[in-house]
Structures are given as C-alpha cells and as structure tokens.
Amino acid sequence: MSRILAFCSEKNNIDAQNTTDPCGNLIMRNAQRVTIVGIMGVEILFLIAILIMSVVIHEVSHGFAANWLGDPTARLEGRLTLNPVPHIDPMGSVILPAILALSSSPFLFGWAKPVPYNPYNFQRGGRWAEALVAAAGPAANIAVALAVGLLVRVGVIPLEATNLAVSIIFLNVLLAVFNLIPIPPLDGSKVFSQLLPQPLAVGYERFREIFERNLFLSFGAVIIFVLLFGSWFALFIAHITRIIIGA
C-alpha cells in the first residue's frame, strides 16, 4: 500500500476520486480492502468478546443456582466469578467461535468450561433441582437480552453502539434457545426429562446417560442439527431479536 502511494505521489495533480485515473482507482480499491478487512477484524473480536462474556454469565448462573440449592462445589472451586479466565475453554470459547466468524457461519456459537455441581448435595428443589440448575443458564442469557433490549427501546444506548447492543441480544438469545434444545448434554435435556411423564422420563434418562458418556454421539447430534437447521435457526433467533428491540 505504501509503495502504491509513493508511486502515485510522483504524478502531478492526482485525483484519487477520478475514475479515469488508474492510479487513483488502485488507491481506492486497496484502501477499501484494507478498511473492510480492518472492520471485519474488529467486528470478529467484538463478537468473540461478547460470546465469551455471554457463556461466562451462562455458566456462572448454573453455579449460583446450584449453590442456592445447597451444593457449594462451584463456589469452592472459584467458579462463581465473572472473570472469564477460570471459565475459558480454548476450543469452545476462542477457536470454534473464530472459525465460525471467519467462515461467515449463519450464527456464532461456543461454550465455556462447564461449572461443576454435585446433585447429591442439593438440599432443596426436590426432583426439579437439576432442571432448575440447567435452566438457570438460559434464563440468565434471556435476562441479559431483555435488559439490553429495554435500553435500546428507551433510547439510552447511543446510535453508534446500536449494532453492538443488537449483537449482545442476538448472541444471548441464541445461547438460551440453543441450550434449551433437548439434545444431551445441552441444558434442555435436563429440563425436558422432568417435563415428561414418569415412564417416558425413565427411558429418556437412559438415552441422556448414553449420550453424556459418549461425547462423539452428543456433539455429533449437535453438529447434525446445526448443519440441517442452522440457517433456519439463525432466522428464528433474528426474529426474536427484532421483537426484543421493537424493530
């Protein structure tokens, strides 16, 4: 780029806006490329940062719910913090989101290290305890989306930051809804098992245990879902986002 500018500066009366000037065209084309790449790079970094904080809020909410129900495991292991460092999973929090963003995937997705909990320590909640812990993560993401959406609606957020706010809403709704899909080991599988009649719940629990013990099965099922329904799912999340912001 600097060589192009140096060469063109030797010409007299160069007008970079003149479409008949090949040197001006060259400057404009390269400047546009550099600008687009720079903007994309910044946007990707912002999206990954938003995703990381969203999954951290999601996981911390699981831990707070478990702690409230009587299990201190997450608290004792220092996981009840919004500091992303203890929660970051290199593959799920950084590498996968970066690949999805750079490949123009229909939606961005990732995960943090699961917050540990021991259901045998629960002192309240009864048979719903594990489902409550599972639902706490998506509920927190929905709360974040609604809070930011309210700020957008009342005009508190500056116009320049609107795109950032919409990204926060979209990614949090995405995390909430996607995690509620009843595919083990997603949160929805733990909630769904409690909603089923007892005979069906027993069979589903066996199915869930098999999937949770075999990561290839569970992640394979999630990948198949994304490949088959990813674009439709992204459109559905975009529709919810528009409702939240009142667009």
Q: Could you confirm whether 59 is annotated as catalytic?
A: yes
DSSP notation for 51-79: HHHHHHHHHHHHHHHHHHTT--HHHHTT-
Do 179 and 138 touch, CB atoms closer than 8 A?
yes
Query: Around Cβ 192, how many Cβ atoms within 10 Å?
Result: 20
What is the CA 123 to chain-centroid distance, rounded?
32
- 3-state percent helix, strand, coil for the chain, nearest multiple of 5: 75, 0, 25
DSSP state of 197: -
Q: Report how far residue 169's alpha carbon sits from residue 246's, in angstroms, rounded to the nearest whole number.
A: 12
Candidate list 10, 43, 59, 205, residue with the active-site label:
59
Cα dihedral across residues 203, 204, 207, 213: positive or negative: negative
Residue 141 to residue 109: CA distance in whole angstroms: 13
| Residues taking part in catalysis | 59
